[in-house]
Structure 1
Amino acid sequence: MSRRLIHPRRWRPPTAADPGRTAPLRIERRLETGGHGPEDVVFDHAGQVVTGLADGRIVRIDPESGERIVLARTGGRPLGLHPRADGGVLVCDHDKGLLEVRPDGTTHVLVDRVDGEPLTFASNVVEGRDGTIWFTTSTTRWSLDEHVGDVMEHTCTGRLLRRDPDGTVTTLLSDLKFGNGLVLAPDESYVLVAETTGYRIRRVRRDGRTDLLVENLPGFPDNMWLGSDGLLWVAIAAPRNPLVDRLLPLPGLLRLLVWNLPEAVRPKAAPIAWVMAFGLDGERVHDLRAADGSYGFVTSVAERDGTIVVGSLTENDIAVLLRDDI
């Protein structure tokens, strides 16, 4: 089967650093979602876990009993979520744009076009106390099913956008290296943005200044969550691929050749379950990994009152982690 043509852009990634001390990631139990692909997991204001599934359902699960209810159906592919105090949920839907799920289960489109173009691959979202909403898009060129194309191409078309309470949408950044997870600072003075293919977390202040909170990560950062423990929890979807890192600074023809290799021999994400946690000063606090096949391709993590849950684009269940080793 033919693939879309990639237009590679050269980039010299930082040399991978020594991973330092790590600890095992161990699963205590699983929460059945009733579907597939709980890509983002969040805790709502009542301590329930909320996630979106591949079939478009938004479900809420009691982390103790496992009881679940369907909150809504978006008709698309929900990715990043933000719980509201009234029981509603903001949803970044890959197909539909930025949505709100109201407490009665009805859905309403907040943003489906930006600068006259359809909003595609909306990825993650946070909301401030005054109703300001920040959200990311991962790429303007690739779909979720083709996201590896963006990794190989590295054209950096991810965006950070802001929707003001009056509905005005402003593009704050348009060159993100696969814009992904978002966290709003406790005092709302900045947002943290995961740049998946840049191996980094960028800080964007209210006045527009940007800097790096964490750089040269050992893997691809995905969704993020500010825990009740004050830590920035980061899902690491996969380790960096040494072959891809070697190819990125070289002429694009080499990546084009690799892109057109048979599926069986193209670079693949290593099967690992992985989360990290940082202080808001950027210092690493936890690095939890498991390569035993018990869970894989972790795309989200959330912590509340000592309970840590992870979600995955490729798993059916949400996993609750053991804290013995943390």
Structure 2
Amino acid sequence: MLTETPRTLVAHRYVAIGGRGPEDVVADARGRVLTGVEDGRILRLDRLTDPAGVRVEVLAETGGRPLGLELLTEDSLLVCDAERGLLRVDLTDGTVRILADSVAGERLRFCSNAVALSDGSVCFTVSSRRYPLRHWIGDIAEHTGTGRLLRLAPGSERPEVLLEGLQFANGLVASGDESFLVVAETGACRLTRFWLTGPRAGRSEPFAENLPGMPDNLWRGAPDGPLWVALAGPRVPPLELLHKGAPAVRRAAARLAVRVPFRPTGTIGALAFDDTGARLHHLTARHSRFRMVTSVCEAAGHLVLGSIREPGVALCELPSLK
């Protein structure tokens, strides 16, 4: 295991993709990267390291704002769409099917990230029950704790609530043996474990706390691979102080926050953990021109970074375990 000392996140190349806001990036078995951009398109990026230019293929259009992605097969993709809910996309013909757009009669306002389990069920997160994507900063400021972890059973159209009270539930990944899920709580700078099997099934506990930044999407390429965590921004002491304030103070701050243009800092980062919660990597960069990193995956021999704001992706040096 590596030390806690952070190492520099070294960017080799920035790649424009013809769309803004590749919020989540996931790699397929052939090393291609899939992502969704703000105009609703699902893109597949190939030849990312080719000096002659990346190949960008449009696979589908969701009609909303795609966020978290999860490959089911080479030709099938789960999409968490912030406007339309949980979707399944056929990558051969672009057909989009809604799997769930409400829970217990309440519309899914802010579907964020999903993971498919081997039993055919799909677990996914909802970041906020009060704020839509365009006002995400309001939820972070108010610290609503209305995030949820949901499960859609095979063949069902009605999700069940596994866990609620989460602080801006975001990225989601399963352990290698699928005994538990790890969910990112962006608003609390922590990762939370939810047990699926065993004597603690149905219970939650901290997986990693006091992270050096705000976690966003999670990704792992193989059951025995590292769990990668994108850090969308550094910790903000005044914000953490606000979170200790009275609800009325936080609501007032949220009303102001959604009216002021958000300017992300140049501090970005990524973490990697194993299933015991041991930290394997801590990568960080200051004064980066690629800002607000919301996702990270391994592809083409690099770490590929996505961002909800940038017009492309970044290719960074892939660290070793030595």
Gaps of 5+ in 1: 1-18
Distance 1:57 1:209, change over 3 A: same
Q: Tell whether 2:238 aligns with 1:243.
A: yes
- Cα contact 1:39–1:79 (8 A) shared by 2: yes
Residue 250 of structure 1 deviates from its aligned partner by 2.5
CA shift for structure 1 position 64 = 3.6
Letter in 1 for 2:79: V
Q: Deviations over 1:128-155 (max 9, x none)?
A: 1232100000001001111111111112
Percent of residue pairs identical? 43
Aligned-partner Cα distance in 1 for 2:215–2:153? 27
1:105-147: per-residue Cα shift (whole Å, max 9, x none)? Answer: 1101000111012111100001012321000000010011111
3-state SS in 1 of match to 2:114: strand
Kindly indicate whether the alpha-carbon contact (under 8 Å) linking 2:65 and 2:82 is maintained by their aligned counterparts in 1: yes
What is the match of residue 201 of structure 1? 191
In 1, are the aligned partners of 2:143 and 2:250 still within 8 Å (CA)? no
Aligned match for 1:54, one of 29, 38, 42: 38
Asked whether the equivalents of residues 259 and 266 of structure 1 are also in contact (C-alpha less than 8 Å), the reply is no
How far off is 1:304 after superposition?
4.5
Deviates more, 1:191-200 or 1:287-296: 287-296
Residue 319, structure 1, aligned to residue 277, structure 2: no
Q: Identify which of 169, 172, 191 aligns with 1:182.
A: 172
Q: Hey, what does 1:274 align to over in structure 2?
A: 269
The Cα shift of 1:254 comes to 4.0
Q: How far is the alpha carbon of 1:251 from its aligned partner?
A: 2.7
TM-score scaled by structure 1?
A: 0.88
Q: What residue is the counterpart of 1:234 in the other structure?
A: 229
Paired residue type of 1:91: V
Give the match for residue 290 of structure 2.
295
Aligned to 1:15: none
Aligned to 1:309: 304
Deviation of the 1:179 alpha carbon: 0.6
Q: Which runs of 4+ in 1 moved over 3 A?
A: 252-269, 323-326
Residue 45 of structure 1 contacts residue 83 of structure 1 at CA under 8 Å; is this kept in 2?
no
- What RMSD in Å do the two structures reach over aligned CA positions? 2.3
Of 255-264 and 240-249, more deviation after overlay is shown by 255-264
SS at match of 1:84: strand
Residue 26 of structure 1: CA displacement?
A: 1.4
* Alpha carbons of structure 1 residues 123 and 35: separation in structure 2 relative to 1, 3 Å: same
* Structure 1 residue 268: Cα displacement: 5.9
Query: What residue identity is the alignment partner of 1:132?
Result: S
One-letter amino acid of the structure 2 residue matched with residue 192 of structure 1 = V
Instruction: Give, in whole Å, the separation in 2 of the partners of 1:141 and 1:271.
Output: 29
Q: Alpha-carbon deviation of 1:294?
A: 2.4
Distance in 1, Cα, partners of 2:255 & 2:288 = 28
CA distance in structure 2 between the partners assigned to 1:158 and 1:298 by the alignment: 21
1:4 maps to none
Paired with 1:89 and 1:260, the residues of 2 have a C-alpha distance of 36
Amino acid at match of 1:274: G
Amino acid at match of 2:215: P
Aligned counterpart in structure 2 of residue 70 of structure 1, from 58, 62, 65: 58
Instruction: Supply the distance in 2 between the matched residues of 1:210 and 1:263 (Cα, whole angstroms).
Output: 31
Long gaps (5+) in structure 2: none
Q: What is the number of equivalent residue pairs in this alignment?
A: 308
Shift of 1:90: 0.4
Relative to structure 2, which stretch is displaced further, 205-214 or 134-143?
205-214
- Of 18, 27, 36, the residue aligned with 1:43 is 27
Shift of 1:258: 4.2
Match of 1:213 among 193, 207, 210: 207
Deviations along 1:246-295, one digit per CA (max 9) or x if unpaired, are 22212344445544658898996433221111122112121111122321
Aligned partner of residue 140 in structure 1, secondary structure: coil
Q: Give the Cα separation in 2 of the matches to 1:37 and 1:282.
A: 30
CA distance in 2, matches of 1:175, 1:262: 22
